[in-house]
Amino acid sequence: MEELLQEITNCEIIQKTLNENFISPCKKIIDSQECTFKNFQLPEPWNGDLENCKILFISSNPSINRKENYPLGNWNKSDITDFFINRFSSPKKWVKDELLPQLIGGDYEEKKEIRSFLGCS
């Protein structure tokens, strides 16, 4: 499962598009981040222990939050794996209260910001 996770998050099309101006169906979304691979927010393969889950929800990748401590192209493989497989249970506390993402500085997103982000009042 970890091999599949690494294959998705380190998609060769991303690097080819960023480094070689490769034309692909993904080019528009890749170019939208306007950065090098080092600072590129990686594709989100899934969240949670996919091998042992009892229920699986399938959805689109909902957003990019540039403030979130989210895997980038320069992260090591073990942190990328921990983030996506153990996001809600890791000792690294990627998420607080199963909802609030850890921000780059170590703080957590405020509930008010999350609600407004989701379009709630």
pLDDT tens sequence across 70-94: 999 999 999 999 999 999 999 999 9
User: How many of the other CB atoms lie within 10 Å of CB of 30?
Assistant: 21
pLDDT tens sequence across 45-69: 999 999 998 988 888 766 788 899 9
Under 8 Å CB-to-CB from 85, ≥6 apart: which residues? 1, 2, 5, 48, 49, 50
Query: What are the extents of the domains in the chain?
Result: 2-55+63-93
**pLDDT-derived band at 5, boundaries 50, 70, 90:** very high
Q: What pLDDT does residue 59 have?
A: 80
Percent of the chain with pLDDT over 90: 66
The tokens describing 34, both together, are 């306007």
